[in-house]
Amino acid sequence: MSTAAVIDWRSLDLADGGRSLIEASAGTGKTWTIAVLYLRLLLERQLSPRQIVVTTFTDAAAQELRERLRGKLQWAVLRASENLAETDDAGSDEGSDGQWLRARWQHDAELRVRDLQRLRLALAEMDVAPVSTLHSLCRRILADHPFACGVAFVMGDMVPGEALLDEVAADLWRRLQQADAGDPLVMLAAQAGDELSLARLSRRLKVCLAPGVSVKMASAAEVDAVLDPAWAARLRAAVADGTHFRKGSLLPGFWSELADFLDDRARMPGAKACAGLKEATALTGVLKGSKDNGELIALAVFAERCAEIIESLRAGFWHELAALARAEMRSRLAARHQLTFDSLIQSVGDALAREAERAGDRPLADALFKAWPVALVDEFQDTDGQQYGILDAIYRERDGSTRGRLVMIGDPKQAIYRFRGGDIHSYQRAASAVDATGRLTLDTNHRSSAALVRAFNQFYAVGGTALDAAGESRIAYESVNWTERRAGQPYTIDGEPCPAPLVIHYRSDPPSSQPARRAEALEVCANQIAAMLQSGTHRIGGEPVQPSDLAVLLPTGNDIISLRDALRERGVPCVTSSRSSVFDTEVARELQVVLYAIAHPAELGALRAAVATRLWGASFSELQRWGDDVAQWQPVADTFRSWSQQRAERGILHVVGQLIDRLAARYLQTMAGERVLTDLRHLGELLQAQSEQLTGIEELLAWLKQCREDGAASDNDAADAAQLRIESDSARVRLMTLHASKGLEFPIVFLPLMWNHGERPGDGMSVVNDPRSGQRLAEFSAAARAREAQDLQDERFRVLYVALTRAIHACHLFALPPQRPASASSKTPASGTRRSALDVMLERIDPALGSPELRDATPDIRWIDGWHPLARHDFSGAAAPAVERHARALPPPRSGPLEAKHSFTTLTQGEHRDAVNPGAAAGDEDAAGNVELADADAVVAVEQPSPMTATEAHPGLLALAGVRGTDFGNAVHAVFEHREVGAPMSAQRELIAQCLRDAGVRRKDIEQSALVDLLVSRIQDALDAPLGIAASPALCLADLAAADLRAEMGFHFAMDRVSMPRLRAACAAHGEAELVPASQRVLSGLMNGKIDLIFHHHGLYHVLDYKGNYLGDTLADYAGEALRAQMDASHYRFQALLYTVAVDRYLRQRLGADYRREEQLGECVYLFIRAAGLAPDAGIWRHRFSSDLLDAVGEVLASGPTTTEAA
């Protein structure tokens, strides 16, 4: 193993056959480094963007990363376009990326030209480059390799996994409550001895079913070795001898229950007895003179060993329950054709694991590696073992050696998502396998000011660099360098640069209770913010500090709400950003009351409750005056009755809009007004979406009630839908949780509650890492609880690091004495893993707190004694303007045709046909086939068959005559799409069978195996049939290599009021009067579709479409003018034109000025697989559209309407 240190991104090993690790401390330019490594891979290894996987943690981060990569390529294109040989030498401000390009091109002008061409091609591919989250990448793998992954060929809808798990948990809970005592699950539950509730069952199942987690159980041999029935008599003898125990001692009862359990394992000790047995060696309740009794000590030790085994037996119930829940979730997802985010990872991981267990080749892993020889994995510290297992399988040979290049980018100091499945142990295992030539540490902070970076270095120097209490986690703070990047926009106070930007507010005499300490910290923080904003003396770059320059990071959502209220009282505008659900707000409760009154406008009680809400705003005196007087209530009843009618006619969102209109003028004048109106609009949209799936207002009210009681699902899309929205883009102090702040930066940060970021109580089930297997295990043992508590405390150290390093110019950290009493009722401080990370660091500070030596050692840190100011401060800068505020008016309705998605199907079969899924492979064959079958004689009569074609029924056509329809067409398309190129179809029988199953093709009159045999022969004949293209008449599909085929290429282009009559006239002017269907429609929106196949041969790109249509039983039906008539009857020639236009546009976009249509755009071929290969030219239609026709069509599609068309 090499020991050479990598000091620069330019020398990092990116060659095949290894792993690279980039550890990037906060603010050290991680994304910039990814971009320049991407540039190296494109130029040095000559890879295309399609071959480089880049993954990160969130969709938003992936989109930002894609744009950063694109920007780096655009910058490189500009650099390559310069004539570097004629420019002066690099200036001192040229970055290392510019220096690298200069050195690369300085003495090789031809290389610069080649690189420029490569960069331009790379830019054209960026939209299809695999830059995404790992979940999205797995979804792509499942879509591209369904057969290898064992999933359906058509991907299902994404649903929130947590909502599905809650549904399954409720069913299992119902079974436990209603099944008889003989039910195996009920017996296991009794053995577990847990006091179960639905909430606990659901919560623990979520732990057991988390990615990579398995429930640890003792083996039968381990259980039998401990639970020796011979001990039962000794336990009973000790209990019978009453001379050892105090009166009222509980230990004899616990030992009696244990003895009964040893005799009959169905008699599990109760929860109280189990808890007592765990502490048996304390001999609580034993007389002082008997505590040295050898027999009692032996029994106590035995009892504690039994308690561990009993915990393991309890785990058996959860192991079985988790297996049942997992199987039920998979069954329901398959039946509903749905997917969850966890199932994406699970399906790919399982497929790769199955391959690894088998001897021989690994087709899926090999195919993925061939497609993506390099992967750059951002935020690698947040991956779990299952996700890393997928990457490891792809980039490792069967013999265990590495292949390709897996580049892992992350920072173990920022691994703070354990609750989401992030596993720091997986990161450390992966990092340990990287040698020195593959390691790069980024050690210069470009985010924060120089003084603040120095302050962070000093803080960890005196408080200890280990990011854990014991120094055993192998994760430590490392001093970083700084730049003068922020020197041009300095943070000043009273005109002077801030001398000590890390301010530690240390209160040595805190209030006695935790709630009082927390309340005071938030009040003082609110006062500090108001005073800072009001003073005008705090400036950044010469401008006064604004509310938007400040952020407060807090441990919980409740802390955010408390500080939000305190800031609003002081006139400070603020915005909350957390994972809180809109259903948890007071607005949701009041809207439920109002909606109930809308549903029941004749009920006086419902109306009285509705108008008493803040959403209506009736005062108490008004309610008293109205009393039960029906006449007084009549105007209110009329309004609610009108809203009830409008809901039925125009939807619930319209009614919520009416309510917003009524509220806006009043609420926009208040500090909290935008929050209320934002939440109300948000709830209206969610209700409207749900109302489209329900049958009436009562069901909608029940759904809203359920959402308010249960909260929104916290799983990805569902959580995003219900998550509170930011109410305004105006200048506001940002309040967010510590975890939500990761990846963000703020000019000035306040951390008022890090001292309160301590241990949270668990429920007995712990998830720990097994150092031997690397697995995450759910356990009940005391040792597991201790290990989990240590892991959680270690993570709190990392959270503190993340919180501090969000700041750019200054950070205010509140602190208390580490040895303070834990609570008002305790005289001792918190100890062990219950302590916050800040308390541990303050306790190990050296020199001591308050000493002159400490201040000398930390010149960039300001230590303030006490929390000030305690007196309330207000901010007047955000006072309401004199002019009343009003909600923005809605934009005027758009004139012209309604924008929509269009496809070949919608253009030929009416505007109401679905264009959302143009990729439904045989979606156009069903209607075409039905038309043909309904009027077969008329179609054949259009043209007489060619004399060269046989007119008698052909056996090959008769064999498949009874198998028709869209499902059959979809199956055939799937076979062509997923076949192994170059392998005979006789070797791909299982693929054909799977495609038939997935498409639902079943025939009672023919065995499925016989149908597979028929298709093997038929598809092979079609592959071997000469296509008859002009450049190579003998060419057949079987002759083409995989690199020359592009299956299922999607396309879309905008249409702005495109006139179908104009399109038809343009075609008629070029001799194709009947090519475009007759229609008077004017189209706006997006034209989209999928082309079955584009193949490349001898420099020409050809379009090919497969058709499974039944046209008749004779070869004459599939040849000559009869086939041409069928093409026209189904408008397939128009489809061919659309596909040709799409490919023409694509080639022009990719090749630019180098594109030559006559030399590079080939023919369009339609392959009717029922007849192709049965006779020369049978089932094959081909045509090359003239260049003039394509220009004319392109002009119509690109232009807007004329005056007559608009009319």
Low-confidence ranges of the chain (pLDDT < 70): 1-6, 83-93, 191-194, 578-580, 667-672, 710-730, 878-899, 909-950, 1199-1207
The answer to whether residue 885 is domain-embedded is no
* Binding-site positions for ATP: 24-31
Running DSSP on this structure, what letter comes out for residue 1175?
B
CB burial of 1170-1207 (b: ≥16 within 10 Å; e: otherwise) equals bbbbbbebbbbbbeebeeebbebbeebbeeebeeebee
Residue-level pLDDT at 163: 84
How far is it, in rounded angstroms, from Cα 1182 to Cα 1174?
17
How far is it, in rounded angstroms, from Cα 979 to Cα 601?
63
Q: What is the largest CA-CA distance in the chain?
A: 117
The answer to whether residue 677 is domain-embedded is yes
- 183 and 114 within one domain: no
Distance of CA 364 to the CA centre of its chain: 23
Last residue of a domain, one of 823, 846, 865: 865
* Binding-site positions: 24-31, 973, 1092, 1105
Domain count, the chain: 5
Supply the CATH number for residue 913's domain: 3.90.320.10
Supply the CATH number for residue 748's domain: 3.40.50.300
Strands 502-506 and 550-554: unpaired
Running DSSP on this structure, what letter comes out for residue 727?
-
Instruction: Determine if the peptide bond prior to 869 is cis (ω within 30°).
Output: yes
- 992 and 857 within one domain: no
- 591 and 700 within one domain: yes
Catalytic residue selected from 1105, 1117, 1144, 1177: 1105
Residue-level pLDDT at 21: 95
- 707 and 601 within one domain: yes
- 767 and 654 within one domain: no
| Element holding 748 (H helix, E strand) | strand 746-751
Domain of 212, in residue numbers: 161-339
The torsion angles phi and psi of 423, rounded to 5 degrees, stand at -130, 100
Asked whether the CA dihedral 1000, 1002, 1008, 1014 is positive or negative, the reply is negative
The answer to whether residue 878 is domain-embedded is no
Structure tokens at 763: 């429920």
- 1101 and 1051 within one domain: yes
Last residue of a domain, one of 711, 742, 777: 711
- 1187 and 1059 within one domain: yes
How far is it, in rounded angstroms, from Cα 445 to Cα 437?
23
The answer to whether residue 882 is domain-embedded is no
Is 926 assigned a catalytic role?
no
The answer to whether residue 881 is domain-embedded is no
- 351 and 333 within one domain: no
The answer to whether residue 85 is domain-embedded is yes
- 173 and 123 within one domain: no
The answer to whether residue 874 is domain-embedded is no
Residue-level pLDDT at 764: 79
- 329 and 207 within one domain: yes
Supply the CATH number for residue 606's domain: 1.10.486.10
Residue-level pLDDT at 668: 63
The answer to whether residue 835 is domain-embedded is yes
pLDDT, tens digit, 9 for 90 and up, residues 93-126: 688 999 999 999 998 989 999 999 999 999 989 9
- 275 and 188 within one domain: yes
- 345 and 322 within one domain: no
Last residue of a domain, one of 658, 684, 711: 711
Residue-level pLDDT at 935: 35
pTM: 0.73
| Element holding 21 (H helix, E strand) | strand 18-24
How far is it, in rounded angstroms, from Cα 62 to Cα 379?
11
